[in-house]
Amino acid sequence: MELYFMGTNAGVPSLERNVTSLALRMLDERRSFWLFDCGEGTQHQILRSPLKLSKLECIFITHLHGDHLFGLPGLLASRAYQGGDTPLALFGPPGLKKFVNTALDLSESRINYKLNIVEHEGGTVFEDEIFRVESAKLDHRIASYGYRIVEKDLPGKLDTDLLARNGIRPGPLYGKLKRGESIVTPEGNILSPADVLGKPKRGRVVTILGDTRPCPAEIPLAEGADALVHEATFLHELKETAYDYHHTTAKQAAEIANEAGAKSLYLTHFSSRYKYEDQLLLLLREAEAVFPNTRLAREHELYPVMRSS
């Protein structure tokens, strides 16, 4: 599981950075990737990336401001021409369906895959046997949501030596044990999963928050997250400006990470006023003073989500 940023600028694109979009690449877990927000130009960023639109499985939109979804109609249409024929699920606030359908209808765009648009107002928005995605409303000028992506715990390692001593070789019986089912040995003994499975591997948690002022809803979403992605639009010296525009400073993002007990923090959504490396480093240093394990999100870099013990 890896984070791949394709847009880290706030409001409008700049010569240095594109507007918001982030991929969660899950080749080992699902052989696919999920996209969080789709600012204008996202499909161009994907062309410059190791990602393939044919592998895109889900898109999660945090809110309906243009810098977070103006790239969506073009990307949906292009996916059909780039080998994307599998179903695609699109999640976001009320109004998303109208936006997408209007753009596709008026442009007479044709897609040859099933598009399932799910509007939500928080709660559990997605769940299968591998992942659960929870959402909650934040504090922004319009309805903006954060997402908590929870990887379910994985079965522990099989004791293959013990199984071999009981006449069990690799095959379907291994699968039954990993699914939590007991099996019968050739000698007629019953082996339960508890007999042969080690301690389960803790699933990872990734929290990706939309635009927001600091607010209480962030804490449950970010609690214990292995990776927390948080906007850091301004330095703290502009905290009044951040508040007026419903945004967060780098220091405030670090305070949220601290309070939530997150393992790592990735800063993104930088104001265009911070054009140069030394200016971005001021944001980083401000956050590191509060939460040391902070990184600046860099476009077109892969950040592995490490599994904590």
SS (H, E, C) 223-278: CCCCEEEEECCECHHHHHHHHHCCCCEHHHHHHHHHHHCCCCEEEECECCCCCCHH
The answer to whether residue 264 sits within a structural domain is: yes
The answer to whether residue 169 sits within a structural domain is: yes
- Across the chain, mean pLDDT equals 94
Task: Please state, as a whole number, how many other Cβ atoms lie within 10 Å of the Cβ of residue 194.
Answer: 10
Annotated catalytic residue 153: no
Give dist(CA 309, CA 296) in Å, integer. Answer: 24
Instruction: Give backbone dihedrals phi and psi of 55, rounded to 5 degrees, phi first.
Output: -95, 0
Query: Is the predicted pLDDT of residue 116 greater than 70, yes or no?
Result: yes
pLDDT at 181: 83
The answer to whether residue 73 sits within a structural domain is: yes
Q: In terms of domains, do 242 and 169 share one? A: no
Confidence of residue 229 (pLDDT cuts 50, 70, 90): very high
pLDDT at 199: 79
Q: In terms of domains, do 110 and 77 share one? A: yes
- Which residues are 131's β-sheet partners? 151
Query: Is the predicted pLDDT of residue 309 greater than 70, yes or no?
Result: no
Least confident of 55-59, 104-108, 166-170, 304-308: 166-170
Q: In terms of domains, do 38 and 175 share one? A: no
Query: Is the predicted pLDDT of residue 61 greater than 90, yes or no?
Result: yes
Structural domain for 267, as ranges: 2-154+204-304
- Which residues are 4's β-sheet partners? 23, 302
Give dist(CA 305, CA 262) in Å, integer. Answer: 12
The CATH number covering residue 47 comes to: 3.60.15.10
Give dist(CA 246, CA 61) in Å, integer. Answer: 18
Which of 192 and 75 is assigned the larger pLDDT? 75
Q: In terms of domains, do 117 and 167 share one? A: no
Query: Is the predicted pLDDT of residue 127 greater than 70, yes or no?
Result: yes
Q: 160-182 pLDDT, tens per residue?
A: 888 888 888 888 888 788 777 88
- Which residues, including other chains, have CB under 8 Å from residue 114's CB and lie 6 or more apart? 87, 88
Half-sphere exposure of 11 (CA within 13 A, CB side): 12
Q: In terms of domains, do 42 and 171 share one? A: no
Residues at the binding site are 63, 65, 67-68, 140, 211, 269
Q: 11-29 pLDDT, tens per residue?
A: 999 999 999 999 999 999 9
Structure tokens at 14: 């700049």
Q: In terms of domains, do 141 and 216 share one? A: yes
Q: 185-223 pLDDT, tens per residue?
A: 888 888 887 787 777 788 999 999 999 999 999 999 999
Domain count, the chain: 2
Determine the number of helices (DSSP H) and then strands (DSSP E) in the chain: 11, 16
Q: In terms of domains, do 127 and 238 share one? A: yes
Going by C-alpha positions, the residue among 48, 51, 45, 52 that lies closest to residue 17 is: 45
Q: Which helix (H) or strand (E) holds 247?
A: none
Token look-up 């200016």 returns 279
The answer to whether residue 309 sits within a structural domain is: no
Which residue of the set 37, 67, 139, 161 is catalytic? 67
Q: Please, are residues 209 and 20 in contact by the beta-carbon 8 Å criterion?
A: no
Residues at the binding site for Zn(2+) are 63, 65, 67-68, 140, 211, 269
Across 108-128, average pLDDT: 96
Query: Is the predicted pLDDT of residue 296 greater than 80, yes or no?
Result: yes
Q: Please, are residues 301 and 49 in contact by the beta-carbon 8 Å criterion?
A: no
